[in-house]
Structure 1
Amino acid sequence: MKKIMAPRYTAGQGFFDKAFFDCYKGIGYPDRWLEESQTYAPEDAYVISHPTWFYEAIPEVPEISIYELFARTVKKYPDDVAVIFLDKAVTYGELDLMIRKYAAFLKEIGIGKNSVVATMLPNSLQHIVAFYAAAFVGAVHTPIDVMFKPKEIADQLKDSRARVILVLDQWHEKLVDLKADGLIDHEIVTHLQDWIAPKAVVPSTLKLCWDMPKRAIAGTFDFFASMEKHAPLTEPEKVDPRKDAALLLYTAGTTGKNKGVLETHFNLVFNSLTHTHAFRATREREVNFSIMPMFHTSGYLLHQLPVFYQGGTVIPIPLFDAADAFRIIETYRVNVIFAPPTFFIALMNQNELMKKHDLSSIQMTIGCAAPVPVAVQDQWKQMTGLELVNGWGMTETNSGGIISIPGIKEKFDSIGIPVYSEVKITDEMGNILGRNQEGEICYRGLQVAAGYYNNPRETEMTFLPDGWLRTGDKGFVDKEDFVHFAGRIKHLIVVSGYNVSPVEVEHVLYLHPGVEEAMVTGQHDPYQGEKVKATISLKLDYMDKISEQDIMDFCKKHLASYKVPKIVDFRDILPKSPTGKLMRQDHNKDDDPMGL
């Protein structure tokens, strides 16, 4: 792999050279952004990436749909393996045929340009087909968190205006009342066993779903049967890549209401190219262990789209199992893994099992969804000989917007440098700060999403007119152009990469008849990054009658499991400001050494 040297900011000393301008103009970077980039002084907390920092220069980004980018790979590698799911391989040609058949079914039931189609599936072949088929007909794909309870599902269906959903048949009961309420016009169901190898190895974590027999459900369509009875479409719907959305991903908001992030076709195509050419993780085409869920931005932008662009192989993992992970890595010669820190910790906890398997195919391991602690990086390097590098991204930046540079040990505590994009650090008024001064990380690049769906107020506050995105994260830029993450400005809790809104959890707590006041915060957890903590004062009639477990059980009825408080602290009085506002930050400082 090419040795990449540490970047140096050399404004006025050849940094803005021909290679720089040729690259940025070639990818369609706006002239006004380039002009602004040259106005910053070397001491400003500002960095724009130079093409020589990366593995290879990014080629011109084509103005096509994300399906059309996939179709180019199909034409180039029709007989190569695109997906291995439950030990059964699918070639690019076979996958494309499935996509075009399912697209014909979608068109028959009325799905077309700008329609929104939902899925509620684990990582699977079916999920991949559904995404590209929606893009083929010009529709927008919105994946729903598989851990959601009916109310959470209803909220996303209402906000996205999706009327069609593809779901695992075991979760059909979650939708019964929603269909009765008129939120769903068409339900398509599938089973994990619909696509398996004859001698597939079933991990223990999947046993419960696996053992449930497939069943016919009245009033639904069967996924594979509906696909197979249609002739494949041949001409994809024409889209405007820079304006038309392909993906609508939901992320937690500080107000308690999830926000739908609109990802355009160009956003997705741009990211496919940058992740391949800027940060070439392997010497050959990737064989990717796809562990991040497909309802999460990393599930698409790290695990799938760049891999399909280069003609690699995606191995969707429905549910993590350490023993099965080692088997898959060894059997299929996995060479790159993007995963949260908890994944690597779980593997290292199986040290004896790790020693029994050949992991020599792995060429790069990259942390995502949460910062990787230096101690975890050091332990991983000691046990495997591999670097475990950091990165940073969010749904609004289409996943990885900042990456670490392999081989620079002294910068492992940073999150890296921006990927063909810009970062500046500002104060509360939007003024740029100096290097090593902590403020808000602002980000600008062609991968930044189009805005929030049906939410103009939040869009205006976050996506600024000059292209800058206010991330709500704190950080600083050092003298060598590396960006460092220092926490969050917004009161969001990140549990194993999943954003949790404290307000949403508080709203549920206030539904309990015994809760007088409630405040939800994040508390540091060495495994998950953070865990949800609820601090509660009880009504007089309920004092000494409600336990911590009672509160947790109540929340489980209304919230996805990762949102449920793992710590419940009862107090007589909650800390408040002179105006009566709950003092979330002061409370955290009292109880949490990290102030999270």
Structure 2
Amino acid sequence: MEELRSRKANSTPLTPLGFLERAATVYGDCTSVIYNTTTYTWSQTHRRCLQLASSLSSLGIKRGQVVSVIAPNIPAMYELHFAVPMSGAILNSINTRLDARTISVLLRHSESKLVFVDLLASSLILQALSLFPPNTQRPQLVLITDDDDDGGGGEALSSSTVDFCCTYESLVEKGDPEFKWDEDQLSEWDPMILNYTSGTTSSPKGVVHCHRGIFFVTVTSIVDWGVPKQPVYLWTLPMFHANGWSFPWGMAAMGATNICLRKFDGPIIFDLIKKHGVTHMCGAPVVLNMLTNSPNNEKLQNPVHILTAGAPPPAAVLFRTESLGFAVSHGYGLTETAGLVVSCAWKRKWNRLPASERARLKSRQGVNIVGMTEVDVVDAESGVSVKRDGLTLGEVVLRGGAVMLGYFKDPEGTSKCMKENGWFYTGDVGVMHPDGYLEIKDRSKDVIISGGENLSSVELESVLYTHPAINEAAVVARPDEYWGETPCAFVSLKERLTSKPSEKEIMEFCRAKLPHYMVPKTVVFKDELPKTSTGKIQKFVLRDIAKAMGSSRVSRM
């Protein structure tokens, strides 16, 4: 056996980019993308990605440099998930809900050389670039136009064309369809993706994933969810959100039809399901709630599979969603794992249980998917596994091929969470049930998950503390029927104020400094916030108060 070893024939690099060429071969004349009146086949999508990849070099983009994109779920966003890494560059998808200040910080931290910008985000990106310090190199801009848009895009285009070096379609048109991306030069450990975690503008956490990691999470996510060949996938999950949990590449592997849409609500989703025969979709629990509350909801003729993650879906919402004919699967993952690496693997015997018990079981995060080596809950200090009793709290740890390479420009942060014992420490607090299923109970960093977006309570608190009337501030999650959770701010005011701010005034103060989705939806005034003997604010007390207040029932806008 000693003479048997790794050879070139059995050690080609693992990358999901090859899924596109295979799709063009197997499903070449089948529909790949549908967006309003635009339709592409897999052969066309393959060719467009090759042309775009070849054109990036003409703009001076070199291997290993970062190329950013800020766009909704439109065909260009889908194509860039292949074209950018095919060129050797690293793809950085930016959250379209961020404000200009945050985007400016991320672009500078990533040293992005080029930004693809949806026309409706053109003014936002120009404002972000205006915040660059003097003499700081700015990235080139490519404008993504949209002939199907009727939301004022023409005005945005005419007012900002001069700031863009070219348009997206012009790059596609002039590119070489015979372009050969450097597969032979590729190492599967080469960086492929740079994503930023939420709520980190003061100290950005840029998560870097390699080709190998994306390959692992893509393939195993398809297997775990049981995605069949040629599904019809509706893009209700933002592709900027952890790259749509890896499914841009996964849908190519299965020859899917991708239904793209710029924005959506319940009626639009139901209309598209009927029009296109949608079979699969993903989204945070807020999407499930949107469906159950939609005015045109009715029991589906054929089941639609929904994969949900973020805040645990409430049992009542799960029950209502499945009563409409949706088949809901629940999972758990982080930006650091490039997708969902834990899922509530369903057991047939559970189907015989009452609906309330089924919903309770399904709300747990579950077990590791096939490509994730191991999941555990450990004592944070000793590293020893906690009792599997469903009660003993510990930190959730993971290991497997989908875990990130590390944080960009942050070796200290990387070493803190990726320890020498071989585990990635998530910072999430959970329990392990006797049957080996994980359930998240809290978040050690007090992250609030609202509508699938992670919000940093620390960042929101830092803004509240800049208000001239606020003495103390603490932010916790408050339950919300629609968003899952919303930020609830507890504040104490300074003494001897001539006038006291109202709840609305504090919200407006935060809205001027933060993305709108991070603004507290509730402000509670206290004479003094509860503290420990050492002066630390007792957030667990505030969480109980917020929970007792019930759903915040905030506006959906």
TM-score by length of 2: 0.87
Report if the CA contact (8 A) 1:440-1:471 is conserved.
Answer: yes
1:380 paired residue number = 321
**Alpha-carbon distance change, 183 to 441 in structure 1, aligned in 2, over 3 angstroms:** same
CA-CA distance at 1:394 after TM superposition: 1.2
Name the counterpart of 1:587. 542
Which aligned pairs between 1:319-398 and structure 2 lie closer than 5 A? 319-350=263-294, 353-355=296-298, 359-384=300-325, 386-398=326-338
Paired residues, number: 520
How far apart in 2 are the matches of 1:163 and 1:395?
A: 23
One-letter amino acid matched to 1:425:
V
Partner of 2:385: 432
Distance 1:149 1:61, change over 3 A: farther
Look up the match of 1:229.
Answer: 174
SS at match of 1:304: helix
3-state SS of 1:565 partner = coil
Q: Does 1:275 align with 2:221?
A: yes
Q: CA deviation at 1:484?
A: 2.2
Q: Once the two structures are superposed, what CA deviation does each residue of 1:227-274 show, in whole Å capped at 9, x if it has no partner?
A: 213333511134544421111111136896331111111111112211
Describe the SS at the equivalent of 2:258: strand
After superposition, where does 1:104-253 map in structure 2 within 5 Å?
104-180=54-130, 181=132, 182-193=136-147, 196=148, 208-209=151-152, 212=155, 214-215=157-158, 217-220=161-164, 221-232=166-177, 234-238=179-183, 240-252=186-198
2:144 partner amino acid: T
Match of 2:439 in 1: 484
Match of 1:568 in 2: 523
The 3-state SS of whatever aligns with 1:588 is helix
Give the Cα separation in 2 of the matches to 1:75 and 1:521. 51
Q: What is the CA–CA distance in structure 2 between the aligned matches of 1:431 and 1:377, rounded to whole Å?
A: 34
Q: Is the Cα–Cα contact under 8 Å of residues 61 and 113 in structure 2 kept in the other structure?
A: no
Question: Are the counterparts in 2 of residues 509 and 555 from structure 1 also a CA contact under 8 Å?
Answer: yes
Give the root-mean-square deviation of aligned CA atoms: 2.6
Mapping of 1:491-530 within 5 angstroms? 491-530=446-485
In 1, the alpha carbon distance for the partners of 2:40 and 2:29 equals 9
Please list the CA deviations of residues 511-538 of structure 1 after superposition, one character each: whole Å capped at 9, or x if unmatched.
3333333222221222212101122233
Equivalent position SS for 2:97? coil
Q: Determine the structure 2 residue equivalent to 1:315.
A: 259
Higher RCO, Cα 8 Å, sep 6+: 1
Shift of 1:556: 1.7
Task: Return the alpha-carbon distance in structure 2 between the equivalents of residues 365 and 328 of structure 1.
Answer: 15
Deviations, residues 397-443 of structure 1 (Å, cap 9, x unaligned): 22111112344344324222211221112112211122123322211
SS at match of 1:268: helix
Deviations 1:332-385 (A, max 9, x none): 11111222211121111125x123xx833434222222222222222222232x
Q: How many percent identity over aligned positions?
A: 26
Offset, 1:499: 0.6
- Closer, same or farther in 2 for the Cα pair 1:454/1:213, shift >3 Å? closer
**Paired AA for residue 208 in structure 2:** L
**Compared CA separation, residues 93 and 323, structure 1 to 2 (3 A):** same
Relative to structure 2, which stretch is displaced further, 246-255 or 441-450? 246-255
Match of residue 18 from structure 1: none
- Normalised to the residue count of structure 1, the TM-score between the two structures is 0.81
Report Cα offsets for 1:65-112 as digits up to 9, x if no partner. 332232222222221111112242211111122112222221111112
Deviations 1:120-162 (A, max 9, x none): 1111111122221111111111111111111100111122111
How far off its partner does 1:459 sit? 0.8
The 4+ residue runs of structure 1 with deviation greater than 6 A are none
Runs of 5+ unmatched residues, structure 2: 1-9, 352-357, 552-557
Give, in whole Å, the separation in 1 of the partners of 2:33 and 2:364: 33
Does 2:231 align with 1:286?
A: yes
Shift of 1:214: 3.9
Query: Which range is displaced more, 323-332 or 174-183?
Result: 174-183
Counterpart of 1:14? none
Matches within 5 A, 1:62-141: 63-141=13-91
Q: Is the 8 A contact 1:292 1:298 kept in 2?
A: no
After alignment, is 154-163 or 586-595 more displaced?
A: 586-595
Matches within 5 A, 1:41-80: 63-80=13-30
* Helix, strand or coil at the partner of 1:192: coil
Verify the 8 A CA contact 1:101 1:231 in the aligned structure 2: yes
Partners of 2:281 and 2:322 lie apart in 1 by 14
Structure 2 SS opposite 1:473: strand
Displacement of 1:589: 3.0
Give the Cα–Cα distance (whole angstroms) in 1 for the partners of residues 535 and 30 of structure 2.
63
CA distance in structure 1 between the partners assigned to 2:11 and 2:102 by the alignment:
37
1:380 counterpart letter in structure 2:
T
Residue 588 to residue 256, structure 1, CA distance change in 2 (3 Å):
farther
2:480 aligned with 1:537: no
1:37 is aligned to: none
1:401 is aligned to 2:401: no
- Unpaired runs of 5+ residues, structure 1, are 1-59, 197-201
